[in-house]
Amino acid sequence: MKELIRQISQSLVDNADKVEVTEVIGDQSYIIELRVAKEDVGKVIGRQGRTAQAIRTILSAVSAKAHKRAFLEILD
């Protein structure tokens, strides 16, 4: 899941080398933290949060297959 979010994010931003994805694994859930360059945060979030919601939907579908819940946090 970490690599999936990394690939999606790198394709959206201008500074692909500054994309950092960390994963915190719990018993029943994953928390995926995404950090991008300050000027690229808007591109990852999208208008009215549509891009971020689409990424979360993909993440939810992948995590359902693993029988866990996944949460995406976009950090500044």
DSSP one-letter code for 67: T
Q: Which CATH number is 2-75 given?
A: 3.30.300.20
Residue for token pair 């994953």 = 30
Residue for token pair 């993440």 = 59
42 three-state secondary structure: helix
With bands split at pLDDT 50, 70 and 90, how would you rate the model's confidence at 76?
A: confident
Rg (CA), the chain: 12
Q: What was the pLDDT predicted at 33? A: 96
pLDDT in tens, 44-62: 999 999 999 999 999 999 9
Q: Domain locations in the chain? A: 2-75
Question: How many CB atoms are closer than 10 A to CB 21?
Answer: 20
